[in-house]
Structure 1
Amino acid sequence: MGDDVTQTEFSREHRLLYRRKVQLSLDVFETMLAQASFEFDRPLTGMEIECNLVDGDYQPAMNNREVLASIADPAFQTELGAYNIEFNVPPRPLGGRAGLELERDVRASLNAAEAKANSSGAHIVMIGILPTLMPEHLSDNWMSESTRYQALNDSIFTARGEDIMIDIAGPERLTLQSASIAPESACTSMQLHLQVSPAEFAQNWNAAQVLAGPQLSLAANSPFFFGHHLWAETRIELFAQATDTRPEELKTQGVRPRVWFGERWITSIFDLFEENVRYFPSLLPEVSDEDPVAELAAGRAPALSELRLHNGTIYRWNRPVYDVVDGRPHLRVENRVLPAGPTVIDMLANSAFYYGALRALSEDDRPIWTQLSFAAAQRNFLSAARDGMAARLYWPGFGEVTPDELVLRELLPLAHEGLRRWGVPAEVRDRYLGVIEGRAKTGRNGAAWQVRTVQGLQQRGLARPQALAEMVRLYCERMHANEPVHTWDGPA
């Protein structure tokens, strides 16, 4: 959820000062882009995995504070819900055998964390939305202890002036009102970072937007929320609605939502930050003591804290990131499309597919986004979130196509080529992209397995709540076995 803040209430004067400071930071950022003073000689990739905690009955365990104390590893941190934790994987180069090393390291870290969580009566589950989460779990003491989270909740409701309406159509439509942003905590994702140069940011972001639909079709893993069977990747629509600062009148006026796919292809990272400042009022207007103009004049990289904090409250599915590490600034594309899970090998396969296809598409002499309208890319994204592997996607040269055909005929070869350019050897490419191929051929992603398993359990006589709990138990068994989800069977 980003950097913490120190207060939950802000005066009018504070907000005005913050707006001026954000605009000043944007001007300094524009100057920095013109001077090209960014680190990008050694592109790095990073990963964040948001997880859920469950108890022995596979119900949400609201004790992340105790679990994190047991784990005692700074790589594991709190997330919005008291039943959430986040695992941050240190950045590393993409080439060579780094993928195999990453798989080994992530499994070792998660296994060690799981063993320590057990001492607090909890298990760690990597899944887009925890299927056993019910409204009663989010009524009291659901939020992690954090000034930022409380301030964000208060700011969203101050902006709205009314409760949040959740209304998600699907096989079993869900409609409810929420007096807090608690439903947002249900949405746990895997976030992929790629460090890029200013000159290459736009083509990488545009390519990532194009890939968002196919990514979701392959990786959907969130079909249940509050006991209802909804979208293949319900997390997408739930997150959008649960953080919406707009009452109905502002929606009718066309005011942009804070969870945003965007509305155009870009030519520079500056386009995105400028849109942020132009369209979105502040939610957390905390002002730092830094003078970014003086910092830049002194030859130092300014933190641009206000601009970064503002960017952290605008939830693009592919978010621009400015950061400073060891005194050197850099830029990243943060891909926020994917749900967590089901297994480490599945998540590594998803990342290999993304990084490989992104490299190939972003370096194409005739970029795909010059042949595809932005509106079509957004329609692909929403279709994939609703229908997963049953979606219909538009692709230049194919017309309307199923995800399996698009992946097998077009995107897998591109992903292989892109990873080859990254210096990833054939054995590593084959391991992870072989998982993607298997998923495309079987049509079985996490969402499909969850739905089929729950249906099977209900046909055996289990009520929906018991079927969901048993499905999560079976899911956890298979998650720890680390066999890709397309090979999973149903209940014995």
Structure 2
Amino acid sequence: MGRAISSADYSDRSIQRFQKRLQTDLDVLAQVLARPRFGQGARSFGAELELYIVNSQGRPVGCNAELQKQVDDPLVTLELNRYNLEYNLAPTKVRGQPFSVMEKQIREALDKLDREAAQFDAHIVPIGILPTLKRRDFGPHNMTDLKRYHCLTQRLADLRGKLFSVKINGEEPVELRSRDLTLEGANTSLQLHYRVEPKAYARTFNAVQLVTPIALAIACNSPFMVGRRLWHETRVPLFKHAIDGYTRDLRDAHLPSRVDLGNGWVREGVHELFAENVYLHPPLLPICSKENPQAVFDAGETPELFQLQLHQGTVWPWNRAIYDPADGGHLRIELRALPAGPSACDMMANAALLLGLAEGLSADIDRYVTAMPYQTLVYNFYRAAQDGMGAKLLWPSERGWGFDELAPTELVSRLLPQAAKGLAKAGVDSADSDYYLGLIEERIAANVTGASWQLRQFQRLHKSNRRHIALSRMMQHYMENSRQNLPVAQWKDVD
């Protein structure tokens, strides 16, 4: 979806041509996956970090294109809304101290962007949803002026046939309507890209799915939308409601959404994940390349599979399969559920927990897949997003049958040894593993996430301040703590 799109033809003929090319790409992918040694190589992970541009009061500043030009760094890309940027972090080998390396990258990126943002009287902050957003911060005038965003808005509106609508229940329910995608643009995340060899893909992907609700509950950082208290990770319902192109009648028919946790456990491998998206979702951007993928494959090269990659980028599961033809080709899992922030060290602690649990439990994943019905996993995901550390998650009982209902803090405490073993199995140095999993232990002991800290400070400040002032003051303290890279477990209450 980061591709430059100059034009798009949405005629029936164009869509049919794209669908045919998409099927060809899918068929060639099966041949690529069968090629000996395809995708072999050391485990690695990279990341995309989405960020807000704000003023000293914590309000959004719509200058992303100007700031990108000023920074002049190819790793900086424009996000959907004019007050958001994305920084693409360089991949690092999992073996060694990957989380320290990535934390250093994040801190350097934030410092660099913050220095340049000062020229616009602005600051850079990582946070899942900016609490100070107001209804006037959405709409066409707030959308980044790139063709792909206008095309997406048009196509999703065509499929939906009505206004984009968001209705989220919570302590202070909110209902919003829009003619474009800028509501979805309120979400910012840390999207991890985990390289996985084809033979281990199904097992690893299922393990990532299994532990995503657990890691999310410990990482929540998005409790507000337009200043209203909603879910601990409001990104989850906001993204789904803002993108989902189905009417209520079709949703009641349980047709698949473009935003979900998937359609079930992976049975054989990565091909079925691509096939699901081809068969279940209509094309949004019917743009074709000139590549003949079969001819490229027959010549012993790795095809780009342009149509397949483009289509995959218009479906947004919380964990997404990625095919990359670079350097002979490889596969990744894009882990999309973690929010941006609060601090660089917190983001890497979240990553260490998620990847460590996935690696630690992957060897026994067949038992978990049998013991955890997929609808139960989805239940866990939404409960984690809604209540954070206060959720009750279902987990296969140690007695051998049924489920235990556990708080995420209790479940993570029980599973932390498995996370440590998983990181060790992947080759992560004990110093890295101990430090970042130690931050998770500290967070559990303090019973605090970025979301719960925000909610507590707002409640304290709102007693003697109007809502917008309380949110602004809370954001000023958030920004300072984040800038100092303090772990959220060490953030103090605002006086």
Deviation of 1:370 after TM superposition, in Å, equals 2.4
Q: Once the two structures are superposed, what CA deviation does each residue of 1:240-261 show, in whole Å capped at 9, x if it has no partner?
A: 0001111223223322111021
Q: Distance in 2 between matches of 1:152 and 1:291?
A: 26
Q: Distance in 1 between matches of 2:164 and 2:431?
A: 49
Deviation of 1:35 after TM superposition, in Å, equals 2.2
Q: For residue 322 of structure 2, what is the aligned residue in structure 1?
A: 321
Q: For residue 428 of structure 2, what is the aligned residue in structure 1?
A: 424
Q: Distance in 2 between matches of 1:489 and 1:228?
A: 23
Q: 2:412 aligns with which of 407, 410, 422?
A: 407
**Matched ranges for 1:90-489 at <5 A:** 90-266=90-266, 267-326=268-327, 328-364=328-364, 366-397=366-397, 399-410=404-415, 412-459=416-463, 461-489=464-492
Are 1:276 and 1:314, in contact at CA under 8 Å, matched by a contact in 2? yes
Are 1:8 and 1:154, in contact at CA under 8 Å, matched by a contact in 2? no
Q: Distance in 2 between matches of 1:213 and 1:159?
A: 30
Q: Once the two structures are superposed, what CA deviation does each residue of 1:159-188 show, in whole Å capped at 9, x if it has no partner?
A: 111012211000011112222111000010
Are 2:56 and 2:476, in contact at CA under 8 Å, matched by a contact in 1? no
Q: Distance in 1 between matches of 2:161 and 2:113?
A: 41
Deviation of 1:211 after TM superposition, in Å, equals 0.8
TM-score by length of 2: 0.96
Deviation of 1:292 after TM superposition, in Å, equals 0.7
Moved more, 218-227 or 425-434: 425-434
Deviation of 1:367 after TM superposition, in Å, equals 4.0
Percent identical residues = 37
Q: Secondary structure at the match of 2:141?
A: coil
Q: For residue 47 of structure 2, what is the aligned residue in structure 1?
A: 47
Q: Secondary structure at the match of 1:119?
A: helix
Q: Structure 1: which 5+ residue stretches go unaligned?
A: none
Q: Which amino acid in 2 is paired with 1:440?
A: I
Moved more, 336-345 or 419-428: 419-428
Q: Once the two structures are superposed, what CA deviation does each residue of 1:324-376 show, in whole Å capped at 9, x if it has no partner?
A: 113x1110011001000000000010111112111111123754222211111
Deviation of 1:37 after TM superposition, in Å, equals 4.7
TM-score by length of 1: 0.97
Moved more, 246-255 or 22-31: 246-255
Q: Distance in 2 between matches of 1:337 and 1:297?
A: 38
Deviation of 1:262 after TM superposition, in Å, equals 1.5
Q: Distance in 2 between matches of 1:201 and 1:303?
A: 20
Q: Which amino acid in 2 is paired with 1:244?
A: D
Q: Distance in 2 between matches of 1:144 and 1:447?
A: 28
Deviation of 1:6 after TM superposition, in Å, equals 2.1
Deviation of 1:429 after TM superposition, in Å, equals 1.3
Q: For residue 34 of structure 2, what is the aligned residue in structure 1?
A: 34
Q: Which amino acid in 2 is paired with 1:95?
A: R
Q: Distance in 1 between matches of 2:430 and 2:120?
A: 42
Moved more, 381-390 or 96-105: 96-105
Are 1:9 and 1:151, in contact at CA under 8 Å, matched by a contact in 2? no
Q: Distance in 1 between matches of 2:193 and 2:102?
A: 14
